[in-house]
Amino acid sequence: MNIIDGKAISAKLKAKVAEGVRELREKYGREPHLAVIRVGEDPASVVYVRNKARACEEVGIKNTTIVLDEKTSEEDLLLTVRRLNADDGVDGILVQLPLPEGISEEKVIDTIDRSKDVDGFHPYNVAGLWQKTPHMSPCTPKGIMKLLEASGVDPKGKRAVVIGRSNIVGLPVAKMLLDANATVTVCHTRTVDLPSVTRSAEILVVAAGKAKMVTGDMVSPGCVVIDVGMDRDPETNKLCGDVDFDTVAPEAAFITPVPGGVGPMTIACLMENTLECARARLDGADRSL
Ligand code: GUN
């Protein structure tokens, strides 16, 4: 069994991004700028947004974190997004999800300028993924594909099973695995006899949001297991994943730990996406001169 070291793999990607940031600064005299908006005090979001700011600092990307009150109206949030859209000095905009009740995530995502959509959540970018036209890829699925590649796992011809069908992870990673020529099955809460499906997997991606739900008896020997979960163990209150690491790891050929697996890779991909947005905007402005 091999533990996929997301921290080490993400450190390499961040070093590459830092190099790109230096080149951009030399060419255009400024670094990429990522604006992150958090609404309210959801404890997980507080940690995620702080980690994003830290990563920006590491790679030399300018970061502005905007914290809005829990009671902020949808209209005020949309105004903030529009202000950032219009600001030529901002290259990337990320609104941390989930948003408080009463604010439409759909409207907020639609409002983000698609050229600054570092999350790849805007309908234009989602369509680009599904139609294979140029687009920004969502960070977590992109990070998962990079973890597989760095581990020497080629999805081509393999049976891949994804648990979860969210817009953020399950659906886009299923599409990316399909594009990498895997045979893909997507499971969800209504799937009948989940263990029989997961046992057929050569690659198993778990993005269910349920602590330790995949146990050793649910995977076949030699499976590659990617755990997207960020949960609390109900017994110990410790951070854990959707995969019961202790029983699954002995069966797996490769497995990502939590923490230190998918999480750091998501953030490194966000840095890469921000650099890509900045490059596209600055090179584009250069061409129109
Ligand atoms: N909440 C959980 N994951 C994500 C993500 O990738 N992007 C944003 N904006 N919010 C999230």
44-96 tens-digit pLDDT = 999 999 999 999 999 999 999 999 999 999 999 999 999 999 999 999 999 99
Is the CB–ligand 1 distance for residue 113 below 6 Å?
no
pLDDT score for 289: 52
Is the CB–ligand 1 distance for residue 186 below 6 Å?
no
Instruction: Report how far residue 102's alpha carbon sits from residue 90's, in angstroms, rounded to the nearest whole number.
Output: 27
pLDDT higher than 90, residue 286: no
Is the CB–ligand 1 distance for residue 94 below 6 Å?
yes
Determine the residue type at 125. N
pLDDT digits (tens, 9 = 90+) for 208-226: 999 999 999 999 999 999 9
Q: Which two tokens stand for residue 33?
A: 């700028």
Question: Do residues 238 and 259 make contact, with C-beta atoms less than 8 angstroms apart?
Answer: no
pLDDT digits (tens, 9 = 90+) for 232-257: 999 999 999 999 999 999 999 999 99
Q: Which long-range contacts (CB under 8 A, 24 or more apart) does 178-181 make?
A: 179/132, 180/145, 180/154, 180/155, 180/156, 181/155, 181/156, 181/157
Instruction: Report how far residue 86's alpha carbon sits from residue 89's, in angstroms, rounded to the nearest whole number.
Output: 9
Closest protein CA for atom 3 of ligand 1:
97
Is the CB–ligand 1 distance for residue 139 below 6 Å?
yes
Instruction: Report how far residue 94's alpha carbon sits from residue 109's, in angstroms, rounded to the nearest whole number.
Output: 9
pLDDT score for 62: 98
**Of 267, 4, 2, which is closest to residue 148 (Cα–Cα)?**
4
Q: Which two tokens stand for residue 216?
A: 């050793």
pLDDT higher than 80, residue 287: no
Q: C-alpha distances in angstroms, 87 versus 31, 91, 93, 209? A: 15, 9, 11, 36
| Average pLDDT for 203-211 | 98
Question: Do residues 140 and 168 make contact, with C-beta atoms less than 8 angstroms apart?
Answer: yes
Best of 42, 108, 139, 168 for a ligand 1 pocket test (most atoms within 8 Å of beta carbon): 168
| Average pLDDT for 131-140 | 98
Q: How many angstroms is it from 96 CA to the middle of ligand 1?
A: 5
Cα atoms in the 13 Å half-sphere on the side-chain side of 43: 3
Q: How many angstroms is it from 97 CA to the middle of ligand 1?
A: 5
Q: In what order do the strands lie in the sheet with 92-95?
A: 62-68, 33-39, 92-95
Residue 97: beta bridge partners? none
Instruction: Report how far residue 47's alpha carbon sits from residue 37's, in angstroms, rounded to the nearest whole number.
Output: 13
Phi, psi of 288 (to 5 degrees): -80, -5
| Average pLDDT for 160-180 | 98
Instruction: Report how far residue 41's alpha carbon sits from residue 69's, in angstroms, rounded to the nearest whole number.
Output: 8
pLDDT higher than 80, residue 193: yes
Phi, psi of 79 (to 5 degrees): -65, -40
Q: How many angstroms is it from 198 CA to the middle of ligand 1?
A: 26
Map residue 127 onto helix, strand or coil. helix
Is the CB–ligand 1 distance for residue 96 below 6 Å?
yes
Confidence of residue 275 (pLDDT cuts 50, 70, 90): very high
Map residue 50 onto helix, strand or coil. helix
Is the CB–ligand 1 distance for residue 273 below 6 Å?
no
Question: Do residues 81 and 73 make contact, with C-beta atoms less than 8 angstroms apart?
Answer: no
Q: Which region, left, alpha or beta, applies to residue 102 given φ > 0 means left and ψ of -120 to 50 means alpha? A: left
Percentage of residues in the chain having pLDDT higher than 70: 99
Please list the active-site residues: 52, 96, 119
